[in-house]
Amino acid sequence: MEQLKLFDLPSSYRVKREPKLEFDRQGLETWQSNIHCYQQSQRQPSQPQQTSLFDLPAPSWHHPDEIDPFALPQQSALFWRQGSKLAAIDDSDQGCLYFILDRRWPLLLYVGETKLSADRRWQGTHDCKSYILNYIELHRRHDLPVEVVSAFWPHIPPDKKILQSWEKTLILKWRSPFNKECWRWWGQPFGKS
């Protein structure tokens, strides 16, 4: 009688993972250049779009298309370690959109939202932290400059539907490569190690 292997699962039970992309210097620069060109094209003024009767109510006098993450005041990428000392982060009953950028290109790498203060949202485990570390590590390996920073848009009520709607609109507009919604365009080269 053949002994059963405890960890030998049928192929239908195996988790299929995307292979992690390993960039050489040229590959990394090409990847960044493609994202940079796309994102800069989004900074051009857009034509007014027709609104729907069924759009979410406007939470304020702002609209997500008005937000240019590259024009916001920039803070340390390690903002969650600095606590509420940052002017843009407080514990008030307010929603917050946050952005992770590499200002050397510039590139918008990640868009997020939170009802908590942004520093509390990033306490503990957050996948984007590992993406940032992997991104910086690859730049160091290829002796390329990198300057990852964060920026915040705290002018939005803490209504989860509105926060998520604005976040999704901005993710799809800018195609930020660390957001899973955009992996179809840029791949997932900086996923968890």
Structure tokens that stand for 112 in this block: 């997020």
pLDDT of residue 114: 80
Q: What is the pLDDT of residues 143-177, one digit of tens each?
A: 999 999 999 888 888 888 989 999 999 999 999 99
Single-letter amino acid code for the residue at 21: L
- Render 50-109 in DSSP notation, one character per residue: ---TTSPPPSSS--GGG--GGGS-EEETTGGGSGGGSTT---SS-EEEEEEEETTTTEEE
Residue 94 has pLDDT above 80, yes or no: no
Q: Classify residue 161: in a domain, yes or no.
A: yes
> CA-to-CA distance for 124 and 104, rounded, in angstroms?
27
pLDDT of residue 121: 52
* Closest by CA position to 92, among listed 163, 166, 159, 154: 154
Q: What is the pLDDT of residues 105-152, one digit of tens each?
A: 999 999 998 876 555 555 556 678 889 989 999 999 999 999 999 998
> CA-to-CA distance for 54 and 187, rounded, in angstroms?
33
pLDDT of residue 175: 97
Q: Classify residue 2: in a domain, yes or no.
A: no
pLDDT of residue 12: 45
Q: Do 152 and 87 form a contact (C-beta atoms < 8 A)?
A: no
Q: Classify residue 15: in a domain, yes or no.
A: no
pLDDT, mean of residues 74-94:
62
Least confident of 1-15, 48-62, 66-80: 1-15
Q: Classify residue 36: in a domain, yes or no.
A: no
Q: Classify residue 191: in a domain, yes or no.
A: no
Query: What is the average pLDDT score of the chain?
Result: 78
Instruction: Check the CA dihedral 60-44-35-75 and report its sign.
Output: negative
Give the structural domain span for 80. 63-186
Q: How many structural domains is the chain composed of?
A: 1
pLDDT of residue 91: 53
Q: Classify residue 180: in a domain, yes or no.
A: yes
pLDDT of residue 14: 45
Q: Classify residue 164: in a domain, yes or no.
A: yes
Residue 62 has pLDDT above 60, yes or no: yes
For 86-98, the three-class secondary structure string (H helix, E strand, C coil) is CCCCCCCCCEEEE
Q: What is the pLDDT of residues 35-58, one digit of tens each?
A: 999 999 998 765 555 555 555 554
Q: Classify residue 1: in a domain, yes or no.
A: no
